[in-house]
Chain A
Amino acid sequence: MTASVEPVICARSLSRSFGARRAVDSLDLAIAPGEIFGLLGPNGSGKSTLMRMLLGLLAPTAGTARVLGYEIPAEAERLRPRVGYMTQHFSLYTELSVEENLQFSAAIFGLGRAERARRIEEALHATGLDAYRSARAAELSGGWQQRLALTAASLHEPKLLVLDEPTAGVDPQSRRMFWERLFELAAQGTTILVSTHYMDEAVRCHRLCILREGRRVALGTPTALTHDLHGRVVEVEVSNPESALMALRDHPLIASVAQFGKVLHVLLAEGQTGTEATLRELARVLEALGFEQPAVVPCPANLEDVFVALLLGQQSRPTSTLVVDA
């Protein structure tokens, strides 16, 4: 059957305007079953709007979308029982206990009494929330609250989970545990659409879509995306990195510089390939500016470089470049 390979989410030139502003602009997207698909982009780049459209909470102004085979937003009602949604902020009831919140969520999704009890017990044990079962949700730390929200959103075993910045403001260890749970769910066949600000989380996604001003500016696996910048990233070590940063910032050879401790992380301008000659030229530039014995070494690109490169080249760049297939 072709149904098994049909994408879980399929959007074609999906757009949404708020007045004159285009929050999402002619977006194409195809997400395969079992994928953890990341949406990366600055605030206001259309991540939340896209998610809300895919969930049928917001009508698109143009374009079409099919989610789990349902036409959106026309068939949104039929989609609802099959998706789980975690909003940007903790959206459970802080006055209710952990167990009561789960009971509520399970009942809302129409789980029978026996089924409800069984799944809640399972979930409480699987997530470690067991220890807090009668604690009020308000008493939990941010990390545990997010885990509770994820559990509540996935109790009805949805085929698709939509998570809008689920780990914002949560400490690294909790984030790590949260992602372990996501991988477990994905391994069970759940498709996950997740938006994030964190580069370390974005790297964990199977595939990523980078959004800017509602447009898709990059799509691919994290490796493919960073591979595209191969050779354009170097590290510079000099005696006084603060003034070197000021000096290099506007140099034509360089797209962007950022300081990490005593090291400068340099993204070379577009077209540069980071050959030996380029590195030597960069060292010469520094020496000419009066910096003594600069060390310039190539360095693997990370997602932040991808992000920065995309943001910098935006005005002149057509939207479809940097689409790398997995």
Chain B
Amino acid sequence: MHSAGAISASLGRLLAIARKEVRQLARDRLTLAMMVGIPALQLLLFGYAIDLDVRRMHTALLDRSRSTLSRELVGQLEATQAFEFTHEVFSEREADRLMERGDVKCVVVIPPDLDRYLYRGRGAEISLWIDASNPTVASAATQAARGLERTLEGREVPGSGGSRMALGRRLARPLATLDPTPDLVRRQPLRISLLPLYNPERRTAVFIVPGLIGTILTMTMMLMTAVAVVRERERGTLEFLIATPVRRSELMVGKLAPYVAVGHLQIALVLLLGVGLFGMPIHGSLVHLLAASALFIAAMLALGLVISARAQTQFQAMQMSFFVFLPSILLSGFMFPFEAMPPAAQWIGEILPLTQYLRIVRGVLLRGASLESFGSELVALAGFFAGVLLLAAVSFRKRLG
């Protein structure tokens, strides 16, 4: 009996604690929002937005043959669903620029003498440039190309016919009548020579490191500044400060300037480690990188200020910044291919400064692009910065009543 009493007393205490905990939780709206919101957000992002299969990669077409055969080839490439021909170019330089900017991930070059290849009995040969700075893209393009080659091999074409079969047969036909060795063509009517650019060894680290600069800056610039401002409020030092002759602008610039320096140190550190440990190449100009970074840092600082105007405690600031950080990681193209996301996810992604910044950093560092190529990204970053800064100014005025 005694032990039964002791157990029920213990249960009573336990329940008292649990009840109190539930009450506290129910009254902490931000934590509650996080506990419900984050799983929902993750489910939506992973379920709908993130597709590990790379499809419809933006591709440029340099068609020097301009024949029925080349058009049919393009149709076959598109039918693989890996490529989407978004640009048509007329010179290799033009194609180069598109690749550098990151507008296209692949370029298909069809030689002027496509038909002649066939008559020489070598089958058709085209070349495919791949932006190998992103290893996922590189392997997806390679797989699609090899797959198409195999499909068009006469023997492997399924008996049901269809357009693929027809093309394979047509590629082989002229040879059948003219060439003494039609077997070769029948065996391999189409050859795609692959030209992986920028990161021919397809090392993942090379691709990840520039992206890391962006995500690290997102985290520190936004969260650190938000926390730094909220800490002053939490401890009452902010009230002490605003009663002194310090101007609001002096206070803000003075507070944020050290973090801008920290941001640049972080960039330097990641670059050093990236080059030193992973052999990441720096193809572009560091000055251009720093210029873009300054704009990105400014945008994140402004976002930090908005958070700091809303958050009452450092913990709240952390929770709020998580709601920006999570989509940034998942929807910016840092972890998962941007092109593979559905339009709605891409729209959200376009709003996130990290998406814009990643395009620039990867372009400059990995593909040696110059800043002039990223006009629209810079405009988007500047627009985000201006908008958020305005929001921060409004929030702060309200708070100080």
Q: Which A residues fall within an 8 A CB radius of B? A: 55, 57-59, 77, 80-81, 83, 85-94, 105, 108-110
Contacts and interface: CB of A to CB of B under 8 A. Distances in A.
Interface of B: 235-237, 239-246, 400-401
A108 B236 contact: no
Given A80-B245, A108-B245, A85 B240 contact: yes
7 contacts: A57-B243, A57-B400, A81-B245, A85-B239, A85-B240, A93-B237, A110-B245
Contacts of A57: 239, 242-243, 400
Contacts of B242: 57
A109 B236 contact: no
Contact of B236 (A77, A88, A105): A88
A96 to B, nearest CB: 11
Interchain residue pairs A-B with the least CB separation, the first 5: A91-B240, A85-B243, A91-B236, A89-B236, A80-B245
Contact of A109 (B235, B237, B239, B244): B244
Contacts of B244: 80, 85, 105, 108-109
Given A58-B401, A85-B244, 10 more contacts: A55-B243, A59-B401, A80-B244, A80-B245, A81-B245, A86-B240, A90-B236, A91-B239, A108-B241, A108-B244
B229 to A, nearest CB: 14
A94 B245 CA distance: 22
Nearest to B239: A87
B237 A92 contact: yes
A10 to B, nearest CB: 19
Contacts of A94: 235
Contacts of A90: 236
B243 A89 contact: no
Contacts of A92: 237, 240
Contacts, number: 43
A194 B102 CA distance: 65
B346 to A, nearest CB: 44
Contacts of B401: 58-59
Contacts of A85: 239-240, 243-244
Nearest to B246: A108
A89 B245 contact: no
Contacts of B243: 55, 57, 80, 83, 85, 87
B72 to A, nearest CB: 71
A5 to B, nearest CB: 27
A169 to B, nearest CB: 14
Contacts of A105: 244
> Considering residues A83, A90, A91, which has the most beta carbons from chain B within 10 angstroms of its beta carbon?
A91
Contacts of A59: 401
Given A58-B401, A59-B401, A91 B245 contact: no
Contacts of A93: 237
A77 B284 CA distance: 49
A261 B106 CA distance: 91
A91 B235 contact: yes
B37 to A, nearest CB: 30
B399 to A, nearest CB: 12
Nearest to B238: A91
Of B240, B244, B245, most A-chain CB atoms within 10 Å? B240
Nearest to A56: B243
Contacts of B235: 89, 91, 94
A110 B245 CA distance: 8
A136 to B, nearest CB: 14
A87 B235 CA distance: 10
B237 A91 contact: yes
Nearest to B237: A91
Name which of A55, A87, A90 has the most chain B CB atoms within 10 A of its CB.
A87
B224 to A, nearest CB: 15
A66 B242 CA distance: 19
Q: Which of B236, B241, B244, B400 has the most CB of A within 10 A?
A: B244
Nearest to B242: A57
Contacts of B241: 108
